[in-house]
Structure 1
Amino acid sequence: MKEIKLSKLVVEGFRGILEPTPLDFEKDCKSIVLFGNNGDGKSSFSEAIEWYFTDRIDYLGREGCGREDYFNKALPTTEDAIVELQLNLPELNSTKVLKRKGGREFSNEDPKFEWILTKIANESIILRHDTMREFVDMGKTDKLEEVEKIIGFG
């Protein structure tokens, strides 16, 4: 299969992002820098991607936060949160809706999309600062075990 790349991300009503907010990635974009004050919603983009693929945000779960915390606090209780991913392979594009009344749904029901979704959900796609700090502070044996897990030998 051809390499899959993110071309556009749109987040609305999710965590720190109330209004529809797009991030457009140019064709050859290898990285992106988000700049803003604390609490401006920068982390909400990575949280949206993590939720899109895994149905959860791990670090929030460890802090005792639940599904209701995924909605923007100013979002009316009658509205759903939306995360849209557009990829370089249009047949894999989809919008995921976090429904206020429970559940979620994807706009793409193609079996190929379902397969890719499952495959990506099992990958380590989000690397947070605290995760890196924990790794740096580990002893050699623990670091080796972590690397083995990441590359599939653990």
Structure 2
Amino acid sequence: MDQKPCLESLTVKTSHVLPPDTNTHGTLFGGKLMAHIDDVAAIAAVRHSRKPVVTASTDSVDFLAPVKEGDSICVEAFVTWTHTTSMEVFVKAVTEDLLTGDRKVCTTAFLTFVAVDESGKPTTVPSVYPESDQERQLHNLASQRAERRRERRKESKEMAASFGTDYPWN
């Protein structure tokens, strides 16, 4: 399987923030932004692997600046690192006041996707290589982020087993 550059998976989506997308504060619902993030990141993962993908994890999504009604939201994503069947995707969201041109990074996140075959089983993906300094920075720290994800997933499984499916938990 051939290697691919990070930029080959670049995906960009710009949307106008309209009243139905906003909360009582006149800012974009966090869940709406998270849906944009998952959508764009999934497209980047499919572009890289050329296979169907499933979301395996979303690292913390930090809302750094509000996205106001009337602004645009531009979500950019690309594959930064791969393992055998998984891909880490970096996402950056930028809000723009369309009347003034003022732009701010409002969110960053990392998502992990797994490529699957026709029967839904994990399947191999091409490796990825960075070309720019920023891509190298993301790529070089990816194995550390992957280790933190493994630890977090283990803790999540332990918590799920502890709480079970019944309510109340006592």
TM-score (norm 2): 0.25
Higher relative contact order (CA 8 A, sep 6+): 2
